[in-house]
Amino acid sequence: MTRLQAELERRRRAGLYRRHRLLGSPQGPEVVVEGRSLLNFSSNDYLGLAADPRVAEALARGASRWGCGAGAAHLVCGHTEAHAELERELARFTGRARALLFSSGYLANLAMLTTFCGRGDTLLLDRLDHASLVDGARLSGARLRRFRHNDSAHADRLLAEAKGRKLVAVDGVFSMDGDLAPLPELARSCARHRAWLLVDDAHGLGVVGEGGGGSLEHWGLGREEVPLLMGTLGKALGTAGAFVAGSEEIVETLIQQARSHLFTTAAPPALAEATLRSLEIVRSEPWRRERLARLVGRFREEAGRLGLPLGDSLTPIQPLIAGSNERALAWSRRLEERGILAVAIRPPTVPEGSARLRITFTAAHEERHLDRLLEALAELPR
């Protein structure tokens, strides 16, 4: 047996083996997975826009005008009027001077951390931060310190000890737990210790806040408290890609120095056209966030009555904690037998001993979908 075969076998035995699921339908509350129709409670399409016909129509119009590919990096000849317009609208939506597009949130986080920190500096990360923040911190060469999850007092103590330039990077909404970072306390610590605060709001933008402005709107924070903001376009906005929003100087510095911007082909301009339409819908249809809140509220109330081991989240991300990998997989299989897709999340995506079903809601779900989910969850072996 080769070394690679042995490692694959080890992952199988540990309940850590993963595989692609083949979808035969667009995203939605019901999807076709490998020929079978399932209720979908695993998607990040929080506002139900990934298959919205208006967004699809904008994409088609954009492809008719611009073609399929950008053809080059933004700084060569791949930056179109569609990209520029989307950057202006994202800056306006987030209340920032400028925004800069990236092909993914991973690339955007790598760009910020490797551009604004280096050797001799200190980066502080929450222990449950997204892998892209961890990888960006390691690539930066800065000293990396991790504070206990959502423990702002611990972060403050580490900041007091930090050397060089200081930057704190956190998820606005944590992707596997659904809870919010204590941004006001972290912002005060950063101000006290002359540090910058970076917020990855991939799972907050469009969903959290009265106007969908994300975790910063929820907490009433602005660009002074949070100089660096990252948002993704492939979750609540239903398309693909990401952006960084900040001051004129921040965006210009990224354009000049960020390797993941300099050396990556721009996303298709048709995708920018689709995202512009999606952004209009986010602004004009608050009922989507209102429906999400109602579904989540009812789910948590009913799940509490059933005694289900839920995490502490009021967002569309509702973790059902199984503990062991084997139990999480068994729960996921049992739900799939009942026609429900709720994928098991295991280490290293979550800490050891905290495997779970990551149940997510979208504005496209209806009460009848929730009824079926609750009926199936009530029958899970515990």
Active site residue 37: no
Cα gap 306→254, rounded to integer Å: 49
- For every residue of 164-231, DSSP letters joined together read SSEEEEEESB-TTT-PBP-HHHHHHHHHHTT-EEEEE-TTTTTTSSTTS--HHHHHT--TTT--EEEE
Residues 6 or more apart from 208 whose CB is under 8 A from it? 172, 173, 180, 214, 215, 217, 218, 315
**Cα Rg of the chain (Å, integer):** 21
Strand partners, 170: 199
Task: Compute the distance between CA of residue 30 and CA of residue 90 in angstroms, rounded to an integer.
Answer: 30
| 247 included as an active-site residue | no
The whole-angstrom separation of Cα 323 and Cα 318 is: 15
Q: Do 363 and 48 contact (CB within 8 A), yes or no?
A: yes
166 is catalytic: no
d(CA 165, CA 136): 16
Q: How many CB atoms lie within 10 A of CB 120?
A: 11
Residue in 130, 203, 365, 369 annotated catalytic? 203
Catalytic residue among 152, 175, 215, 313: 175
Q: Which of 83, 235, 365, 369 is catalytic?
A: 235
Spatial CA neighbour of 260 closest among 123, 138, 137, 115:
115
Chain centroid to CA 102 = 14
* Residue 146: other Cβ atoms inside 10 A: 17
Amino acid at 209: G
Catalytic residues: 175, 203, 235
